[in-house]
Every structure is written in structure tokens, then in C-alpha cells.
Amino acid sequence: MTQFDPAVFEEFILEEKVAGFFEKAIQLKSGRRSHWYVNWRSVTNDVFLLDRLCDFILDFVESQKLAVDCFYGVPEGATKTGLLSQYKWAKRQSNFSKGSHVLAMGRAKAKLHGDPKDRYFVGQPKGKTVVVEDVTTTGGSLIETMDQLREAGVNVVAVLGLTNRGEKPVDASEGMSVADRIAKRFGKDLPYYALSHAHSLLPKLAARLNPSAEVLAALEAEYAEYGTSPLKLR
């Protein structure tokens, strides 16, 4: 096992251009507008890079000493990441054999009728399950997936995000962060982990890419308005 190192993971993000800036703000799925993006597609579309990403995930899980039977990627952004993480994890286990591990995959769009295991999944997660999300902004897609897993009776033991944008939920009644939102809905005993976080990543990204002063000012304004904490970039 290699000990997970957040700084090495952040450097991986920077090297592979997973994150970047926009001169003009774009609208996110949450409905908010932002001058920066995180997109893991360039990594998950490349077998070599996806393999490296999954090693980071497995090293993190082992560093946290989590007991895991199954990884499940939030459809569709983390589907491939969940599948390969599960495959590599199963191969690492001493009990790896026929029937020891399921390869779970969710449907991008749930079927309207039938049993939850058929409506939501192409192979339902079994055992102690870690849910993997690529980017968490306000947590909407993640919460929807978690609701489906709960309906199907899946035992979720942890939630893991590759990058946390560090934003408050849209509805203030749901708490001050994605972790708050998960705890409020699913209980305080369900941990949420992030392998990288905007408040650590953005200053390094700005130093690497040197965006305009206007973009930096706009980002500081974004995080003053709906960040989990303010952000200083200048």
C-alpha cells in the first residue's frame, strides 16, 4: 500500500489539466455561475490515467482503514471510476474468488417500473459500499444517488468525492456544506471525504495558470457569496 498524499494528488490534477479558468463565467449544473471548472473526463477517458486515479482512491481508502466490499460510482460522471476501482480493489483482496465481489453499475436514467435493483442498477452494489463522486458542488446528484441506494437497501459506509468545490448547498436549511447535507439526510455516522478541495487547489491552480486579475476577483466574490469559507487569491 502507498500512503495517500493530498499534495501528490493535487499535482496530478494540475498536470492533467483537470481544472481551469473561464474569462467569462459559465453556468454550473447547480444553477450557479463560476469562473473555474473541474472536469475529470480527460482522465477517465484515458485507461492509463484512470488506472492512476483509481490507485489514488484505493490508497486513500486503505489510509483511512475503511472496510469496503464494493465501490459504486455516481452515474454517469463517476461510473467508470467506480467500476475500475472495484475491479482493482477486488484483485487486492485475499479472498478474491468466484462470487466474492460484485461489479456494480448504476443507470444514468432510472427505469420507471420494477424492483429497485433493476430500476437503478446494472448490477446492484453489495456489502459495505463506498460511493464515489467526481465533483461535488452542492451535492444534488450525490443526494439523488444516495436516495436510490437507500431505497434499494444498500449499506453505504462512506462517500468519497474526487474534488469538493467547497460550496454551500443552494437551500441554506440543508446546512453549510455537502458534508452537512449528507449528515442531515443520512445520519452523522456516514462520513464524507474529499481527495481534493477547492480552497487548497485554487491557489495552486492560479499560480500555475496565472489567470487575469478580473477572474481572480470574480472567484473571490463567488466564494464570499456561496463558499463554505472565503477564498483569498490576490
Q: Which domain CATH number covers 190?
A: 3.40.50.2020
Q: Within a domain: residue 231?
A: no
64-105: pLDDT as tens digits: 999 999 999 999 899 999 999 999 999 999 999 999 999 999
Give the E-state strand segments of 46-202 in sequence order. Answer: 70-73, 128-136, 155-164, 192-194
Mean pLDDT of 140-159: 95
Amino acid at site 16? E
Q: Within a domain: residue 152?
A: yes
- pLDDT in the model for residue 1: 66
Asked if pLDDT for residue 116 goes beyond 90, the answer is no
Amino acid at site 141? S
For the chain, give the percent of residues with pLDDT over 90. 85
Q: Within a domain: residue 233?
A: no
Q: Within a domain: residue 52?
A: yes
Q: Compute the distance between CA of residue 163 and CA of residue 121 in angstroms, rounded to an integer.
A: 24
For the chain, give the percent of residues with pLDDT over 70. 100
Q: Within a domain: residue 232?
A: no
Confidence of residue 187 (pLDDT cuts 50, 70, 90): very high
Taking residue 204's Cβ as centre, other Cβ atoms within 10 Å add up to 15
Give the E-state strand segments of the chain in sequence order. Answer: 19-27, 33-38, 70-73, 128-136, 155-164, 192-194
**Domain range for 167:** 6-226
- pLDDT in the model for residue 189: 93
- pLDDT in the model for residue 170: 86
Q: Compute the distance between CA of residue 135 and CA of residue 215 in angstroms, rounded to an integer.
A: 21
Asked if pLDDT for residue 172 goes beyond 80, the answer is no
Confidence of residue 51 (pLDDT cuts 50, 70, 90): very high
Helix (H, G, I), strand (E, B) or coil at 23: strand
Mean pLDDT of 156-162: 98
Of 109 and 73, the structure prediction assigns the larger pLDDT to 73
Taking residue 47's Cβ as centre, other Cβ atoms within 10 Å add up to 10
Q: Within a domain: residue 209?
A: yes
Q: Compute the distance between CA of residue 139 and CA of residue 136 in angstroms, rounded to an integer.
A: 5
Asked if pLDDT for residue 234 goes beyond 90, the answer is no
Q: Compute the distance between CA of residue 148 and CA of residue 143 in angstroms, rounded to an integer.
A: 9
pTM for the whole structure = 0.94
> What residues contact residue 3 under an 8 Å CB cut-off, 6+ apart?
59, 63
Do 178 and 143 touch, CB atoms closer than 8 A? no
Q: Within a domain: residue 1?
A: no
Total structural domains in the chain?
1
192-214: pLDDT as tens digits: 999 999 999 999 999 999 999 99
Q: Compute the distance between CA of residue 45 and CA of residue 39 in angstroms, rounded to an integer.
A: 11
DSSP 20: E
Within its chain, how far is the Cα of 18 from the centroid? 13
Cell of 37: 471548472
Asked if pLDDT for residue 22 goes beyond 80, the answer is yes
Cell of 180: 452537512
Of 117 and 127, the structure prediction assigns the larger pLDDT to 127
DSSP 172: G
Q: Within a domain: residue 204?
A: yes
Q: Across all residues in the chain, what is the average pLDDT?
A: 95
